[in-house]
């Protein structure tokens, strides 16, 4: 099978579960007058029960949305939960036996592999829009209006207005990420939320209506040989702490920018994703052990996790 045929087959496999999401918001511009603003985005049906995965910024400020399936059928959707920290939201449409997508494993992504972005570009009729590229990089930390979006996937597959919330898929048609943003004036560099993160958040939103995750209160980056050599750091693997939030568990535990987390609990740390995965599996109030390197000196201590504050 040629590469072109594989892409066509992958698109045909995923298209039936790609939806268009339209929103209406009432905005007031003075005491007596207001106007209605409409928005459009994309989403993916994540299971046969009618749960739709999309971006928080697509549905922000509204409780109900209109969801259009690829065949044009319209459903009224209820926003059951949002998580601004990861820019993930879940919508529920009534019905059952919906066609849903197959998820891949975003932890196994490699730069250079095929990435296909699908969504409702610009809200145009006629079905989803398809753009093709590669995974350009993984584990990118991207500043946004709501803080830093961590562990993002970078792709050169064009993510156009309206594509937010739609799937990024591999050559087998498996969902590897949720399209999120395109950086203006960056020559088509797009970013997407890894599906492993999106699934974890979506499942909490479906179960509880909100995400109750603990946090460390750090901004970090992955260690690598170049970074270790340039700054004369003690290890080529681990999570380098760049910033610490005040009144966070890391702050009260005495961690400092420049510390390198090499182990947390019983998990060896190769990068920030290892820290995130371990923390999200814990509960607020738990006391965990953490091992760091500080100026070539190894230190071990404990800290108590607290619930992440609502932004």
Q: Determine which one of 42, 57, 100, 170 is catalytic.
A: 57
Q: In terms of Cα–Cα distance, which of 189, 72, 191, 185 is closest to 120?
A: 72
Q: Determine which one of 42, 121, 164, 248 is catalytic.
A: 164
Tokens of 180: 């999120």
Active site residue 78: no
Main-chain dihedrals φ then ψ at residue 250, nearest 5 degrees:
-65, -40
- Which SS3 state, helix, strand or coil, does residue 242 take? strand
Give the HSE-up count for residue 29: Cα atoms under 13 Å, Cβ half-sphere: 5
Q: How many CB atoms lie within 10 A of CB 246?
A: 8
Active site residue 87: yes
Q: Are 266 and 208 in contact (CB under 8 A)?
A: no
Please state, in angstroms and rounded to a whole number, the distance separating the CA atoms of residues 53 and 66.
14
Active site residue 170: no
DSSP H helices in 66-194:
none
Q: Determine which one of 20, 83, 87, 100 is catalytic.
A: 87
- Which SS3 state, helix, strand or coil, does residue 78 take? strand
Where do we find the tokens 């209160």?
217
* Residue 84: partners with Cβ closer than 8 Å, 6 or more residues away: 56, 60, 146, 311
Q: Are 156 and 190 in contact (CB under 8 A)?
A: yes
Which class for 295: exposed (0-12), middle (13-18), buried (19 or more C-beta within 10 A)?
exposed
- Catalytic machinery residues: 57, 87, 164
């Amino acid at each position: 099978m040629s590469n072109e045929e594989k892409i066509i087959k992958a698109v045909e496999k995923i298209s039936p579960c790609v939806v268009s999401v339209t929103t209406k918001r009432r905005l007031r511009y003075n005491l007596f007058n207001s106007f209605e603003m409409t928005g459009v985005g994309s989403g993916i049906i994540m299971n046969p029960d009618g749960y739709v995965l999309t971006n928080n910024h697509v549905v922000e400020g509204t409780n109900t949305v209109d969801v259009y399936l690829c065949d044009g059928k319209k459903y009224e959707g209820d926003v059951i939960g949002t998580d601004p920290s990861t820019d993930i939201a879940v919508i529920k449409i009534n019905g059952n036996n919906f066609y849903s997508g197959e998820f891949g494993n975003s932890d196994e992504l490699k730069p250079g592999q095929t990435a296909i972005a699908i969504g409702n570009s610009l809200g145009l009729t006629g079905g989803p829009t398809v753009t093709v590229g590669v995974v350009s990089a993984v584990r990118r930390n991207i500043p946004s209006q709501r803080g830093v979006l961590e562990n993002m996937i970078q792709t050169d597959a064009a993510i156009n207005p309206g594509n937010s919330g739609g799937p990024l898929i591999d050559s087998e048609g498996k969902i590897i990420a949720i399209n999120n943003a395109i950086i203006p004036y960056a020559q088509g560099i797009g970013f997407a939320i890894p599906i492993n993160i999106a699934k974890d958040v979506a499942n909490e939103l479906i179960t509880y209506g909100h995400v109750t995750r603990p946090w460390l209160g750090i901004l970090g980056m992955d260690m690598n040989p170049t970074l270790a050599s340039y700054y004369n750091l003690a290890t080529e693997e681990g999570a380098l702490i760049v910033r610490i939030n005040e009144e966070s568990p890391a702050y009260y535990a005495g961690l400092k920018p420049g510390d390198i987390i090499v182990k947390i609990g019983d998990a060896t740390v190769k990068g920030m994703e290892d820290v995130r995965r371990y923390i999200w599996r814990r509960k607020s109030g738990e006391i965990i052990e953490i091992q760091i390197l500080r100026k070539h000196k190894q230190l071990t201590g404990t800290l108590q996790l607290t619930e992440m504050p609502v932004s």
